[in-house]
Amino acid sequence: MFNFSFTDFHDFLTMDGHGIYVWTVYLVTFALIAGSFLIVRRKLNVFKRKLENASE
Amino acid sequence: MFLGFSCLAMGWIWGLAFAPEDAIQGNSYRIIFLHVPASIMAQLIYFFMSICALMHLVWRVKLAAYLIKSAAPVGVLITFIALFSGSIWGIPTWGTWWQWDARITSTLILFIMYLGIITLHSSFSNAEKADRLMSILVVVGVVNIPIIKKSVDWWSTLHQPASISISDGASIDPSMLYPLTISIFGMALTMIALGILVSKLYILTREKNKKWVQSHV
Amino acid sequence: MINFFSLEAFKLRHKLRAWLGPLLIMILVLIAFPLSIDISQYDLNKFYFSVIVVSLLMISFLATESIFSEDYEDGSLEQIHLEEKDFYKITLAKILVHVLFIGIPMALIGSIFSFANGVSLAEAPKIFVILSISTLILFNVFAFGSALSINKGSMLGVVASLPLALPAIVLLGRGVRTVQYGQGFFEVSVLMAGVALIVTALMPIIISATLKTHLE
């Protein structure tokens, strides 16, 4: 079950010509999800800072 | 969040590197480990929102409305991912990136519904009124979810039937099923983590004038 | 209920713009489309139905755009709220009157224009039936959109309610296909009538709750 499905790393990247589709989808999704986390975290920090400044 | 990312990473690495190649679709099928979890989450988030909407309408639970408002942008994100991954998968498999197929179109409708809910809420300055109207719209919109789920069976379509079904079990090999299940689990946890973070931000912003927020921060 | 119905019929009858406007726009759209593109009658036959269906969808929205706004602005809704505590009857009356004055004529126009689609005289009544049932569903859905966006402009109503109307359009497309292929018309029209009845029974309850939210 845990046999590497490709002959080498280059084959893993190209995936018989399908690599461009597969990798594009995974990278864009990762960027979107990670970006969302970062944006929300940043907004949360900015909000907390604002509130702290206001209370001081 | 850490658990979600870990499961997602494990499912994706297993699916991308170790799962065998599909006999018909070749390696492009590996998008399934992202597309299926995203599609499931797109519908589950709406289902969650509709339960919250009922709670808000029946028992007037304020937190339920906050959760709907926070879940909607997460729903937009994951539905976009489902649509995007599906259309990219369509290029090598069907030869087209878009087809006016029942399930794809219904998912697009779901995407517009999420945007409609956000637009509706932001149109009213009275937040309590906006909460109630949004809840009503979410409950009415839930009719679309079974239509999306069943559309493939009801209408002739290009889209393949569901790979995993509660009543019929899985139609794919265990070597593909296990990473897929882990990916679904991981995606669910990741979306829950994102949802919690967004809700935290929204609740704090909405209640910023309350005493408890000052003491919390 | 009868009182509400006759009052709404009286009000709409005297608002020429509200009922004649959508009908004229529908006719103009149906005339404008074949004029705007240079294609043969054979090609037009293949997709003119889509133009009828989409214009039905858009004109239905246009027709119900201000279904509640005037009553909301002049305080009538508030008065009904105080007297009746519920908007079910008034909503149902408004929707039925709009269907009768605008929806049914729209279906008639649609079925007449379906001759441009190569539909025979014997088949035109079938088109009329499915278009009429569709207008009942669409008017209910768009009345909900109008209730949601009561004083916030029509764009919000479209954004909120259009996704809900799209399954009805899919059903209508299915109905049109049964007429074109001459098979399964009865089953699909009964299904559509069933959906329309359920929507007509439930939607006024939802709209009533929406209107109450605006007034509270």
Helices C104-113 and C41-64 pack at an angle, to 10 degrees, of 170
Residues C74, C76, C82, C85, Cα dihedral to 10°: -130
Q: Residue A9: what pLDDT?
A: 79
State residue B152's pLDDT score. Answer: 47
Does C98 have pLDDT greater than 90?
Answer: yes
Low-confidence spans in chain A with pLDDT less than 50: none
* Whether the Cβ atoms of residue B134 and residue B68 lie closer than 8 Å to each other: yes
The answer to whether residue C210 neighbours chain B at the CB level (below 8 Å) is yes
Task: Compute CA C116 distance to the chain's CA centroid, rounded to the nearest angstrom.
Answer: 22
Residues from chain A contacting residue B175 (CB–CB below 8 Å): 1
List of residues 6+ apart from B58 with CB closer than 8 A: none
Predicted local confidence at residue A19, as pLDDT: 84
Q: Regarding predicted confidence, which is higher, C167 or C100?
A: C100
In this predicted model, what pLDDT tens digit does every residue of B77-90 receive, in sequence order?
Answer: 999 999 999 999 88
| Terminal-residue alpha carbon distance, chain C | 24
Q: Which residues of B touch A45 (CB under 8 A)?
A: none
Query: Is B190 an 8 Å CB contact of chain A?
Result: yes
- Beta bridge mates, B83: none
Nearest to C145 by CA among C55, C79, C216, C69: C69
At B151 the pLDDT is 52
Helix segments in C37-153, DSSP class H: 41-64, 69-73, 76-84, 88-98, 104-113, 124-148
State whether residue B169 is helix, strand or coil: strand
**Segments making up each domain of chain C, as ranges:** 2-215
Q: In which band, very low, low, confident or very high, does the pLDDT at C176 lie, cut at 50, 70 and 90?
A: confident
Chain B residue closest in CA terms to A20: B28
| Closest CA of chain B from A53, distance in Å | 11
> Tokens for C19?
């009922």
Task: Look at residue C116 and tell me whether its pLDDT is greater than 80.
Answer: no
**Is B120 within 8 Å of C160 when comparing Cβ atoms?**
yes
Minimum Cα–Cα distance from B143: chain C residue: C164
Asked whether the predicted pLDDT for residue C41 surpasses 80, the reply is no
Task: List Cβ neighbours of A49 (8 Å cut-off, separation of 6 or more).
Answer: none
**Predicted local distance difference test score (pLDDT) of residue B23:** 67
Q: Which residue, among B201, B206, B212, would best test binding to A if mutated, counting the most A CBs under 10 Å from its CB?
A: B201
Q: What are the average pLDDT values for consecutive 10-residue runs of chain B, which has 217 residues?
A: 77 75 75 92 94 94 94 96 92 81 81 92 90 93 69 56 60 80 92 94 87 75
Interval C128-165: pLDDT, tens:
999 999 999 999 999 999 999 887 777 788 888 888 88
C43 versus B192: the higher-pLDDT residue is: B192
Placement of tokens 């079938």 in the chain: C126
Partners of residue A8 in chain B, C-beta under 8 Å: none
CB within 8 Å of C179: residues ≥ 6 apart: C119, C123, C126, C127, C130, C185
Number of neighbours of residue A1 by Cβ within 10 angstroms: 10
At B27 the pLDDT is 74
- Structural contact between residues B38 and B85, judged by C-beta atoms closer than 8 angstroms: yes
ipTM of this model? 0.89
Residue B35 with chain A: CB contacts under 8 Å:
25
Residue B124 touches chain C, beta carbons under 8 Å = yes
Nearest CA in chain A to B4: A33
Give which of C149, C151, C170 to mutate to test B binding, by max B Cβ within 10 Å.
C170
Provide the pLDDT for residue A8. Answer: 78
Side-chain half-sphere exposure of C190, counting CA atoms within 13 A:
4
Q: Is the CB of residue B34 less than 8 Å away from at least one CB of chain A? A: yes
Give dist(CA B9, CA B187) in Å, integer: 10
A3 min Cα distance to partner chain B (Å)? 6
Report the candidate in B94, B92, B80, B96 with the shortest Cα–Cα distance to residue B39.
B80
Find residues 1-56 of chain A whose CB sits inside 8 Å of chain B. 1-6, 12, 15-19, 21-22, 24-26, 28-29, 32-33, 36-37, 40-41, 43-44, 47-48, 51-52, 55
What mean pLDDT, rounded, does chain B reach? Answer: 84
Q: Which chains pack against C, by 3+ Cβ pairs within 8 A?
A: B
Q: Name the residue with higher pLDDT: A14 or C23.
A: C23
pLDDT of residue A17: 79
B54 touches chain C (CB under 8 A): no
Between chains, do B123 and C210 touch, taking CB under 8 Å as contact? no
Q: Annotate A27-52 with b (16+ C-beta within 10 A) or e (fewer).
A: ebbeeebeebbeebeeebeebeeebe
Our CA-based measurement puts residue A51 at a distance from the nearest CA of chain B, in whole angstroms, of 7
